[in-house]
């Protein structure tokens, strides 16, 4: 539970960078075979509703931290009936309305979006029957520690139209990562419907060329893509290949390392030993540690606007230090800007409001920031900012509300930049910390 204390007539949540600077978590990719039985029985014995209830319970009992589900269509309610994860995405609907993509998690997230594929193919499968695609969520694996999680279900089949659509699908995800996840650690997992060993199938190699690592290839084969055959179900050997995969990369704010990989079908079986789904669930353990040179605060505000992150640029500067702060606001917070001593400037938001500025001395650091948010056009935005320096001087812009967050840099650190989402104003905001 967060502590709430009054400050300047507002209720302010106090947020420091996480005292936890390292830890472990796990992920699971599972295609749950949730198409209506009349459309596809998936060669899975038993009643699909009963199997879905077992899946939901086992996702909780097996200690899965973040499970991405695919083909979670018409038996979604049965999975959630027995599942006890505290954070779960709402369904987008059964066939033909939903994408079948859902997530159950032990961690909360700051944003969630569903994106439909721009291309599909019915050459050999009915991939255009539902709005398949991918989801995006910014998951808080600890206080002030975020990674971008992507869940995907790519086009199936092996005809030329299928291969073309699947390549387009993976390229669409890669483009989205380049835009929305710049500077962030990323984990992409789900049903790629692609294999390295399939002739003419090059889709997933696009993720490798985008700077992501395949946890299976890395942990079992030392990053050398193998030539292995397809798996049984449950898989008896982790070295065989399935279409369900886990890709990831670290970022300047968060180090990630895949430490363990396995096909997890043996833990997801019916009481009589039969399979629950026609896909092998894929399980990966991760270790994480906060960045040594850059870290971040909690995110605060709303989820409108476009994503930005100064961390990538800040990581190229040896000793980033603000020389001046420039904020602009009126009834809401219009923009935030910081100019560093090396001349670099980071500005986010729009062009409205009244500008205020504060120049920092050579031995003065920006150490605290207070944000307040409010309702605007059916969502949340940041209405107010207050910056406090190590010398006790402050600057404010915008209008305070009763819903506020105070971020304090860890001892020996300073605020050097921003991350969040913006448009004509500042929708969501967090702060990038650097050593003093």
Average pLDDT, the chain: 92
pLDDT at 365 over 60: yes
Query: Can you point out the beta strands (E) in 341-424?
Result: 345-349, 354-359, 366-376, 379-389, 394-398, 404-408, 413-422
Question: So what's the pLDDT on residue 201?
Answer: 86
3-state secondary structure 247-275: EEECECCEEEEEEEEEECHHHCECCCCCE
For the entire predicted model, the pTM comes to 0.92
Question: So what's the pLDDT on residue 380?
Answer: 94
Phi-psi region of 46 (alpha: psi -120 to 50; beta: other; left: phi over 0): left
pLDDT digit string (tens) for 37-87?
A: 777 667 899 999 999 999 999 999 999 999 999 999 999 999 999 999 999
pLDDT digit string (tens) for 384-434?
A: 999 999 999 999 999 999 999 999 999 999 999 999 999 999 999 999 999
Q: Nearest to residue 425, comparing CAs of 346, 326, 353? A: 353
Identify the H or E element spanning 88: strand 87-88
Residue 56 and residue 91 in contact, taking contact as beta carbons nearer than 8 Å:
no
Per the listing, tokens 């001349």 go with: 343
Distances (CA, A) of 351 to 120, 333, 429: 40, 11, 17
Question: So what's the pLDDT on residue 18?
Answer: 54
Separation between Cα atoms, residue 294 and residue 19, nearest integer Å = 15
ω into 96 cis (within 30 of 0):
yes
Average pLDDT of the segment spanning 119-133: 91
Lowest model confidence (mean pLDDT) among 119-133, 190-204, 227-241, 308-322: 227-241
Identify the H or E element spanning 174: helix 160-180
């Amino acid at each position: 539970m967060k502590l709430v204390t009054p400050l300047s007539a507002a209720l302010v949540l106090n947020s420091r960078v996480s005292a936890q600077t390292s830890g472990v978590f796990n992920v699971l990719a599972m295609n749950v075979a949730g198409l209506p039985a009349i459309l596809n029985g998936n060669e899975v014995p038993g009643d699909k509703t009963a199997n879905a209830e077992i899946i939901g319970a086992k996702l909780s009992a097996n200690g899965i931290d973040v499970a991405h589900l695919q083909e979670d269509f018409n038996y979604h309610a049965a999975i959630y009936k027995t599942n006890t994860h505290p954070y779960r995405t709402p369904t987008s609907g059964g066939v033909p309305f939903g994408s079948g993509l859902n997530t159950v998690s032990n961690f909360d997230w700051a944003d969630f979006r569903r994106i439909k594929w721009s291309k599909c193919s019915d050459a050999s499968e009915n991939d255009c029957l539902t709005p398949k695609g991918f989801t995006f969520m910014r998951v808080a694996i600890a206080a002030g520690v975020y990674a971008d999680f992507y869940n995907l279900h790519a086009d199936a089949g092996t005809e030329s139209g299928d291969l073309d659509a699947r390549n387009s699908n993976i390229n669409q995800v890669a483009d989205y990562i380049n835009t929305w996840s710049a500077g962030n650690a990323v984990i992409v997992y789900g049903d790629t419907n692609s294999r390295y060993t399939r002739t003419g199938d090059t889709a997933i190699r696009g993720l490798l060329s985008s700077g992501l690592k395949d946890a299976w290839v890395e942990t079992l084969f030392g990053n050398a893509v193998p030539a292995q055959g397809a798996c049984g179900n449950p898989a008896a050997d982790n070295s065989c290949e399935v279409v369900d995969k886990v890709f990831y990369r670290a970022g300047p704010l968060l180090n990630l390392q895949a430490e363990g990989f396995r096909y997890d079908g043996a833990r997801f079986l019916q009481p009589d030993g039969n399979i629950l789904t026609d896909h092998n669930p894929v399980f990966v353990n991760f270790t994480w540690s906060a960045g040594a040179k850059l870290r971040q605060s909690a995110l605060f505000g709303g989820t409108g606007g476009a994503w930005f992150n100064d961390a990538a640029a800040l990581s190229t500067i040896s000793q980033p230090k603000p020389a001046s702060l420039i904020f602009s606001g009126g009834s809401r917070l219009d923009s935030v800007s910081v100019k560093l001593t090396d001349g670099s400037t980071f500005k986010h938001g729009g062009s409205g409001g009244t500008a205020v500025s504060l120049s920092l001395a050579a031995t003065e650091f920006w150490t605290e920031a207070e944000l307040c948010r409010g309702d605007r056009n059916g969502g949340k935005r940041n209405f107010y900012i207050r910056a406090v320096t190590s010398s006790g001087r402050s600057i404010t812009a915008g209008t305070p509300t009763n819903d506020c967050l105070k971020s304090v840099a860890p001892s020996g650190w300073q605020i050097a930049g921003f991350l969040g989402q913006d448009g004509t104003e500042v929708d969501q905001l967090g702060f990038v910390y650097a050593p003093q």
